[in-house]
């Protein structure tokens, strides 16, 4: 069995190596995926920052239309010259009308959510879209750096936290070139989900804006579950512990719930101090385990696999394993079975260990030793013994199963037996004894079981004592008692024998009780003489598909 066992070891080692390679590949794939995700998040963060700046530049260009409007410039200058607590009413009306007129001419794509006209005092003279300031005469924006810079002739953009998060741009309004700007125009866009979706569609990044520990807007490209960005809310309280985020405004790559990679970036300007920023997110490209490759692989990946080679290796390994099994298991077992069948049929009296290999050779030797031990003990019942096995070849015994009878179809040429045996024939002749089996000690002439197959019961078996005549039996029909009982018993055996022959599809034509009784008498007398028994009990059984009789000497 060396080849098969060696093959099992090889297959086990290959399976272990394959599992190791899969785990190794899983680790390498996940590490490469984490690195690619980090690079992707950094790129997404830079793209979003670039988009915010570019959008501010484009929208600041739209403010030129407001700054060049004469009514806006003229009345902002008048409001700046007034010293009252509130801007003049005329300035409010004229500037408000001009703001609406200019705003209507701007394309829908570049329109602002809110527009403010601010004079040199920082007071809001007029506005559009910011309903919270309606009816407020003292509303001003001059304190914000982005507005102050515009009032001093600069163009700026910033993120303001008012009632909500805004992206704003501001530019000065010139009326008298020799003096300070008459005021400033401030355009604002609300950072909401619409703004985030527009940003995500143009950059391809999943982005979420937050301020004061709360997510205020989010947007994601197609195929990305936007609700996953809500996880940043639970991570924001610990964000200040990130040293990179505190000092550089951009955090390290963070993984939330093993399902989302994010990187946080502070928004510059006013929003920085108020904790405003944005987070870009990506789903990690990893697998849960060796079997995860089958879940993540698509049809293109599967098509690139060398299926014929895989199938060939599998069938090759299977064929070698079966071949080794046939040579080392099936074939030796078949040889052992064949020899065991020969032993059971009597074609051999012992197994031949030289025909076997390995463990079968040891089993054959043990069987031979066991048979010798049983034979040395005088025999034990193994199977039913028929008359021929017990007595040997009787001259008067026809050939059929255990014995046959004149008139049977299987022995048509057998000589008829006499109806009444003569006195000379009635005397039993000594039967030849079977030679002792090889390896077994020969029994002594008077030892129990001498000349009997070991399947005969050992009790009551033995040779008659020297000088002791065989027991006499009264002639059949000479009286009652044992003879009548024996005849009744034989009649029952005859009926059972006939029924068994019918069951075995044997011919019973011409098979009469008288012939059956004559044969039983002869065999009974021979057994009584040989074993010194008082009587013989006959029973019916089936041997090799035919009806047969078993004789059991009884010594009472």
In the chain (556 residues long), the average pLDDT of successive 10-residue segments reads 70 84 82 84 91 90 91 91 83 91 89 92 89 74 90 91 89 86 93 92 92 89 87 87 87 85 88 87 79 72 76 82 77 83 81 78 84 70 45 41 42 38 38 40 37 33 37 43 77 90 86 87 85 84 85 80
The CB density around residue 429, as the number of other CB atoms within 10 Å, is: 11
Q: How far apart are CA 125 and CA 182, in angstroms?
A: 12
Q: Which pLDDT does position 38 carry in this prediction? A: 86
Q: Which pLDDT does position 481 carry in this prediction? A: 53
Q: How far apart are CA 179 and CA 170, in angstroms?
A: 19
Q: 144 and 160 in contact (C-beta within 8 Å)? A: yes
Residue with tokens 């405004």: 249
Q: How far apart are CA 433 and CA 442, in angstroms?
A: 11
Q: Which pLDDT does position 483 carry in this prediction? A: 63
C-alpha angle 279/284/287, rounded to 5°?
Answer: 165
User: DSSP characters for 478-545?
Assistant: S-STHHHHHHHHHHHHHHHHHHHHHHTT---TT--HHHHHHHHHHHHHHHHHHH--SEEEEEEEEETT
pTM of the model: 0.52
Q: Which pLDDT does position 76 carry in this prediction? A: 92
Q: Which pLDDT does position 408 carry in this prediction? A: 41
In sequence order, which residues have a C-beta less than 8 Å from that of residue 320 and are 6 or more positions away? 7
Structure tokens at 13: 């080692």
In sequence order, which residues have a C-beta less than 8 Å from that of residue 433 and are 6 or more positions away? 392, 450, 451
Q: Which pLDDT does position 94 carry in this prediction? A: 92
Q: Which pLDDT does position 184 carry in this prediction? A: 94
Distance of CA 508 to the CA centre of its chain: 65
Q: How far apart are CA 386 and CA 389, in angstroms?
A: 5
The CB density around residue 211, as the number of other CB atoms within 10 Å, is: 21
Q: Which pLDDT does position 173 carry in this prediction? A: 93
Distance of CA 52 to the CA centre of its chain: 51
Q: How far apart are CA 360 and CA 356, in angstroms?
A: 6
């Amino acid at each position: 069995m060396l080849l098969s066992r060696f093959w099992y070891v090889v297959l086990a080692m290959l399976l272990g190596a394959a599992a190791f390679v899969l785990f190794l590949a899983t680790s390498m794939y996940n590490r490469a995926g984490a690195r690619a995700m980090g690079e992707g998040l950094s790129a997404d963060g830079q793209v979003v920052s670039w988009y915010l700046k570019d959008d501010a530049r484009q929208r600041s260009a739209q403010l030129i239309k407001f700054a060049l409007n004469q009514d806006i410039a003229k009345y902002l200058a008048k409001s700046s010259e007034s010293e009252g607590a509130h801007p003049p009413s005329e300035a409010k009306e004229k500037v408000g009308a001009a703001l609406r007129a200019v705003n209507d001419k701007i394309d829908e794509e570049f329109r602002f959510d809110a527009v403010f006209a601010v004079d040199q005092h920082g007071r809001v003279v007029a506005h559009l879209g910011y309903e919270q300031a309606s009816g407020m005469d003292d509303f001003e924006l001059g304190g914000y750096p982005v507005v102050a810079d515009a009032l001093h002739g600069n163009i700026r953009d910033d993120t303001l936290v008012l009632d909500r998060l805004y992206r704003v741009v501001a530019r000065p309004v010139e009326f008298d070139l020799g003096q300070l700007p008459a005021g400033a125009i401030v355009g604002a866009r609300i950072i909401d989900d619409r703004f985030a979706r527009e940003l995500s569609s143009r950059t391809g990044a999943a982005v979420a804006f937050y301020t004061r520990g709360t997510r205020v807007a989010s947007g994601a490209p197609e195929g990305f579950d936007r609700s996953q960005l809500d996880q940043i809310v639970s991570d924001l309280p610990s964000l200040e512990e990130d040293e990179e985020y505190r000092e550089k405004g951009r955090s390290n790559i963070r993984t939330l719930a093993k399902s989302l990679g994010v990187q946080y970036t502070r928004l510059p300007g006013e929003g920085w101090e108020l904790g405003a920023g944005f987070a870009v997110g990506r789903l990690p490209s990893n697998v849960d385990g060796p079997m995860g490759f089958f879940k993540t692989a698509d049809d293109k990946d599967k098509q690139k696999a060398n299926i014929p080679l895989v199938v060939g290796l599998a069938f090759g390994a299977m064929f070698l394993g079966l071949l080794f099994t046939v040579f080392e298991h099936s074939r030796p077992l078949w040889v052992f079975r064949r020899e065991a069948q020969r032993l059971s049929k009597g074609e051999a009296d012992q197994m031949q260990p030289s025909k076997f290999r390995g463990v079968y050779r040891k089993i054959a030797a043990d069987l031979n030793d066991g048979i010798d031990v049983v034979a040395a003990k005088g025999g034990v019942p193994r199977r039913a013994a028929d008359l021929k096995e017990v007595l040997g070849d009787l001259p008067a015994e026809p050939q059929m199963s255990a014995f046959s009878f004149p008139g049977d179809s299987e022995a048509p040429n057998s000589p008829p037996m006499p109806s009444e045996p003569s006195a000379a024939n009635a005397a039993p002749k000594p039967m030849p004894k079977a030679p002792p089996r090889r390896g077994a000690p020969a029994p002594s002439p008077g030892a129990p079981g001498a000349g009997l197959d070991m399947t005969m019961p050992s009790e009551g078996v033995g040779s008659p004592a020297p000088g002791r005549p065989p027991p006499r039996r009264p002639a059949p029909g000479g009286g009652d008692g044992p003879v009548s009982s024996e005849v009744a018993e034989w009649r029952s055996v005859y009926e059972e024998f006939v029924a068994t022959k019918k069951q075995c599809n044997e011919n019973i034509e011409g098979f009469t009780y008288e012939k059956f009784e004559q044969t039983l008498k002869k065999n009974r007398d021979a057994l009584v003489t040989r074993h010194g028994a008082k009587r013989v009990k006959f029973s019916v059984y089936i041997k090799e598909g035919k009806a047969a009789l078993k004789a059991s000497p009884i010594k009472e």
